[in-house]
Amino acid sequence: MFNDKSFFLSLNEMKNSTISTGCDSSSLTAIGKGTAKLIDLNGVCWTLKNSLYVPKLNTNLVVLLQLASQITIKSTGENVNVFLNDATTPSFLCPTRSKVLETKVKLGIKCLSTRNHLWHQRLGHLNDKETNTLILTYKAAGEVCNECVKGKLTGFLSPTHFKLRRMPLKSFTWTYADQCISNHYQEPDSF
C-alpha cells in the first residue's frame, strides 16, 4: 500500500475499498490499484503488482514476501539488515525502534518517461496556463494532447483524445508532474 501516486507505473481507479491496517481501530480507504515500483539499497528495482493507493496512509506498507522468495533477516545492534533472495549485501536497512521494520526507499519511477495516457491516468489534464509555463521554461517536452495545450476540455474523453501532436521542445520528455521539473537535465538538442 502506498500513499503517494509517484510510486505507481500504472494506476486504475477503483470503487472505494475500506482497509484496516491493524494498528488501531480506524479504517482507511483505497481509491486506486496498480503497479508500483521502488528501488532498494543495492539499486535493484522491484515491481509490485496489485498495489493499493491509499492517500491517507501515514506510512507506505510493503509485504516482504511480495518482493522475494527467500528472505534473510540479521540483527546487528541498533539495526536490522534484510537480505532478499541470495543478495550478499542488505537490500534494506531498518532501525529497530519499533516492532515494524521501517526503512526509506527510493522511488523506482521518478525518472521514467511515460506515455500520454499514463500522464492523464495519474493527474488528469493540465490547464493551458500550466502547460504553457512548462513549455516556455523548457521544463517539459515531448507529446501532449491537444486538449491540454488548447486548455479546452469537454466533460468526457473522446475517442480522438489521445491523438498526439509532437511539440518541438528542448531537453525534457514528459514525465510525471511531481518529477518533471527537477530530474535529469540534458543539453537541448538543436532543431
Residues 88 and 132 in one domain: no
Question: Mean of the pLDDT values across residues 153-181?
Answer: 42
Could you give the CA distance from residue 162 to residue 160 in angstroms, rounded to a whole number? 6
Residues 140 and 101 in one domain: no
Q: Domain containing 52: what range? A: 5-107
Residues 37 and 77 in one domain: yes
DSSP at 138: T
Residues 93 and 133 in one domain: no
More confidently predicted of 37 and 108: 37
Instruction: Round the CA-based radius of gyration of the chain to a whole number and report it.
Output: 20
Question: Mean of the pLDDT values across residues 91-109?
Answer: 61
Name the pTM for this structure. Answer: 0.46
Residues 24 and 60 in one domain: yes
DSSP at 64: H
Residue 151 has pLDDT above 60, yes or no: no
Contact yes or no for 22/59 (Cβ under 8 A):
no
Residues 117 and 102 in one domain: no
Residue 130 has pLDDT above 60, yes or no: yes
- Report residue 149's pLDDT band, with 50, 70 and 90 as the boundaries: low
Residues 47 and 141 in one domain: no
Residues 28 and 95 in one domain: yes
Select from 81, 107, 133 the last residue of a domain.
107
Select from 89, 107, 125 the last residue of a domain.
107
DSSP at 3: S
Residues 95 and 68 in one domain: yes
- Report residue 103's pLDDT band, with 50, 70 and 90 as the boundaries: low
Residues 81 and 116 in one domain: no
Our count of domains for the chain comes to 2
In this structure, the number of other CB atoms found within 10 A of the CB of residue 180 comes to 21
Residues 117 and 83 in one domain: no
The mean of the pLDDT values for the chain is 64
Could you give the CA distance from residue 24 to residue 160 in angstroms, rounded to a whole number? 48
What's the pLDDT score for residue 43?
75
What's the residue count for the chain? 191
Select from 72, 107, 142 the last residue of a domain.
107
More confidently predicted of 86 and 11: 11
More confidently predicted of 38 and 126: 38
- Report residue 27's pLDDT band, with 50, 70 and 90 as the boundaries: confident
Q: Give the pLDDT confidence of 56-71 residue by residue, as tens digits.
A: 887 778 777 777 777 7
